[in-house]
A and B are shown apart, each in its own frame.
Chain A
Amino acid sequence: MMAIFRAIWNYRQFIASSVWREFQSRYRASLLGVFWTVAQPLALLLIYTVVFGRVMRPSLPGHEQTPYAFSIYLCAGVIFWTLFAEMLTRLSTVFVDNATLIKKTNFPRVCLPVIATLSALVNFTIIFSLYLAFLILIDHFPGRLLVAVIPVLMLQVLFTLALGIIFGTLNVFFRDIAQFTGVLLQFWFWLTPIVYVINIVPEEYRYWMNFNPIKLLMTAYQEIFLVQAWPNLPSLISLSVGTVLLVFFSALLLLRLEPEMVDEL
């Protein structure tokens, strides 16, 4: 376990360069360059605010007085969900995608999921900054409460990383996992209150939704950004315990199967 962290530390420069390279490679050969990395998330935010904030004007129960309430709610969910989905998708194929690298060179394999995670976080940072700018613009900035995002985000990244490493490792042996991930994410998205609010879910199902870790995370974000309140601590603590267990399991699985991995790629 310590060996994993030491390997990451020793290859920190390589990891940093890889993330930077991946970021650059997306617009290297384009004329407008870095504009495109901002344009896409900007378009997403615009559509959600215009369509749901101005055109459809759905009202959130309890937030009728807040302008753009639904847009704040929706974007908070979508932005953090996108990070989760992007990480999980990339991690589930991270070893298979880098098969040649793994087969030909000897470097700590654990660098690959770390690079994928950091790359996803770069994308997330861009869209999240735009979201914050939007919140300032409509005068709904959460202020000091913003620090509450940090532990929740760390929890989300750890959870996704652990789950992604499990998927990615298993995918080397059973390529079905990557396919399954795509299907899983579709259901998962609609089983999480992102586009809808939990109140519309029939009472008897609401309790069961608390077993969805992503629902717990999304609710926390929505609390911070829309209600501007500290997230519910007990539910996040139980999620933290689960995440730590998952991280250990994923590390064990990776250590156990890593030697066999290269023979299957």
Chain B
Amino acid sequence: MNAIAVNGLGKAYKRYPSRWARIYEWLTGGVSHEKRWALKDISFEVPAGTAFGIIGVNGAGKSTLLKIITGTTPATVGTVDVSGRVAALLELGMGFHPDFTGRENALMSGQLIGLSLTDLKNAMPAIEAFAGIGDFIDQPVRTYSSGMQTRLAFSVATAIRPDILIIDEALSVGDAAFQRKCFQRIEKFKSEGSTLLFVSHDIEAVKRLCDSALFIHDGLVAHKGQARAVCDTYERTLFGGEKFFAEYSLPSSTGNTLKKTDLESDTDIANFPPDCTQIYGNGEAEIIDCWIEDLTAERINLAQAGERINWCYKVRFNIELADPVYSMMVKTRDGHAVFGTDSTTLLMPHRKVAAGDLMTIKFALTPTLIPGNYYFNCGVRRDSAAESEFMSRRVDAAVLRVSGSRTSSAAVGPADLNAEITLL
């Protein structure tokens, strides 16, 4: 069962050559406008109860797509089938009037999104409790801070579990504690069977929340598939720039670039690097090799927590450059950054390179992490005041399995903070 099925969807905006052209068109029945396609050939399905992410840069067409799915604007071609009640957290606090109390506004904006007055009145205690704004609920909304408005608006919008929940960056407002609360509620809805449609620039959040994802670029599907793989493609284009699109053809929109493997088993570690490694850059340098080694310089993919290791990679430069920056990052399996650093942060003096130079970089690290698999990125950047651009980067270039040591103090979470406990 699909909660959302989008088929061959396209949206064109009419552009008239002048203000008079439309009236001319209406009167004569001729056509003088040209169509500007904001979206073209978008097809995807979201099975009920799953989470689906939509990513893309500003102006890629994400918002237009959401508007069509929520029914605010019609599609020019193609079909959208949505089954179930939709709650859209697109514009929180829509229909709030400053002179009315929080309670009155909650009833009003709830009705605007299609909830009945009876349901809303029944849900009111829960709305109040979740918003957690205390006595302010009976004060005019104009006395609220923007955070309080968001709290109330979110509470109303999610007062009754929808079949489909659409989230568009709305959660970027509010304090960290409330954001966590929002995510908890979203996760609870998901576990209770709601379908999520999540639109964000926040790749980490998409990776964490979503099962599959869609990457839109210039109104077209650039990549569709498993969330992690799609996010990687997106990151690659973000940092690789337009060049990426010119030089590489995009992966097929149906296949997953990530092979479905269970990385919990050790055999996969042996088979690494898997085909999920992403390589990109502007071509001014090239990472030709990368590996993890222990202190005896032996290549490893298994280490004990707390044991010193080296993360090494070899770069060949194709241009002359005074100050290349070397960077690395360690991520968890679900894409959380655990640690990242670069030569600037580590205060390494710049060393000039010439075209054709080979450079080996070694980051010495102590993975005080809890047991599990960790993914390593490496890169070489060219930083200017305006922007930083990867000359070459490998994402998920190596995987390290950290095994528990007797000294490990962690029970949960990625880091080992070397805890000690004493009773006083």
Interface residues of A (CB under 8 A from B): 11, 13-14, 17-18, 21, 24-25, 28-29, 100-107, 173-174, 259-260, 262-263
A101–B72 CB distance below 8 A = no
A105 touches B107 (CB 8 A): no
Which residues on A sit within 8 Å (CB–CB) of B108?
14, 17-18, 21
Chain B nearest Cβ from A42, distance in angstroms:
24
Interface of A (DSSP majority class): helix
**Given A14-B111, A17-B117, 9 other A-B residues pairs in contact with their CB atoms under 8 A:** A25-B97, A101-B95, A103-B67, A104-B72, A104-B91, A105-B72, A105-B91, A107-B113, A107-B114
Cβ-closest chain B residue relative to A11 = B111
Contact B100 A21 (CB under 8 A): yes
Of B23, B90, B114, which one neighbours A104 at CB under 8 angstroms? B90
Given A101-B95, A104-B90, A174-B23, check contact A14 B112 (CB 8 Å).
Answer: yes
A118 to chain B, nearest CB (A): 15
Instruction: Please list the residues of chain B having a beta carbon within 8 angstroms of any beta carbon in chain A.
Output: 13-14, 19, 22-23, 67, 70-74, 88, 90-91, 94-95, 97, 99-100, 104, 107-108, 111-114, 116-117, 140
Give chain B residues whose Cβ lies under 8 Å from the Cβ of A174. Answer: 19, 22-23
Would A13 and B117 count as touching, CB distance under 8 A? yes
With beta carbons under 8 angstroms apart, the residue of B13, B74, B112, B113 that contacts A259 is B74
List the 8 closest A-B pairs by CB distance, nearest first: A104-B91, A14-B111, A28-B99, A106-B71, A259-B74, A13-B117, A262-B73, A106-B72
Chain A residues in 8 Å Cβ range of B19? 174
Smallest CB gap from A27: residue in B: B99
Q: List 16 A-B contacts (CB under 8 A).
A: A11-B111, A13-B117, A14-B111, A17-B107, A18-B108, A21-B108, A29-B99, A102-B72, A104-B91, A105-B72, A105-B90, A105-B112, A106-B72, A107-B113, A262-B72, A263-B73
B22–A173 CB distance below 8 A: yes
Do A104 and B94 have beta carbons less than 8 Å apart? yes
Nearest CB of B to A100, in Å: 8
Given contacts A28-B99, A103-B72, A106-B71, contact A13 B111 (CB under 8 A): yes
Q: How far is the CA of A238 from the CA of B316 in the complex (A)?
A: 89
Q: Whole-angstrom distance between the alpha carbons of A102 and B95 in the complex?
A: 11
Q: Smallest Cβ distance from B252 to chain A, in angstroms?
A: 32
Q: How far is the CB of A179 from chain B (nearest CB, A)?
A: 14
Which residues on the B side are within 8 Å of A173 (C-beta)? 22
CA distance A13 to B94 in the complex (A): 17
Contact assessment for A105 and B100 in the assembled complex, using a CB-CB cutoff below 8 Å = no
- CB B113 to nearest CB in A, in angstroms, measures 7
A17 / chain B contacts, CB cutoff of 8 Å: 107-108, 111, 117
In the assembled complex, the Cα of A29 lies from the Cα of B141 at a distance in Å of: 12
In the bound complex, how far is the Cα of B111 from the Cα of A7, in angstroms? 13
* Complex interface: chain B residues within 8 A of A13 (CB): 111, 116-117
Q: Is A105 touching B95 in the complex (CB atoms < 8 A)? A: yes
Residue of A nearest to B117 (CB): A13
Q: Is the CB of B94 within 8 A of A101?
A: yes
Which of A11, A29, A263 interacts with B13 by CB under 8 Å?
Answer: A263
Q: What is the minimal beta-carbon distance from A23 to any residue of chain B, in angstroms? A: 12
Chain A residue contacts of B74, Cβ below 8 A = 259
The residue among A17, A29, A106 with the most chain B CB atoms within 10 A of its own CB is A106
A25-B99, A28-B100, A173-B22 known; A105 vs B94 contact (CB < 8 Å): yes
Residue of B whose beta carbon sits closest to that of A24: B100
Report the Cα distance A104→B88, complex, angstroms: 10
Residues in B with CB closer than 8 Å to A263 are: 13-14, 73
A29 to B101 Cα, complex, angstroms: 12
Residues of A within 8 A of B104 (CB): 21
| In the complex, residue of chain B having the shortest beta-carbon distance to the beta carbon of A18 | B108
User: Complex Cα distance A21/B13, Å?
Assistant: 35
Give bound CA distance, A107 to B112, whole Å.
7
Q: How far is the CA of A52 from the CA of B362 in the complex (A)?
A: 98
CB-defined contacts of A24 to chain B, threshold 8 Å:
100
> Nearest-CB distance from B37 to chain A (Å)?
13
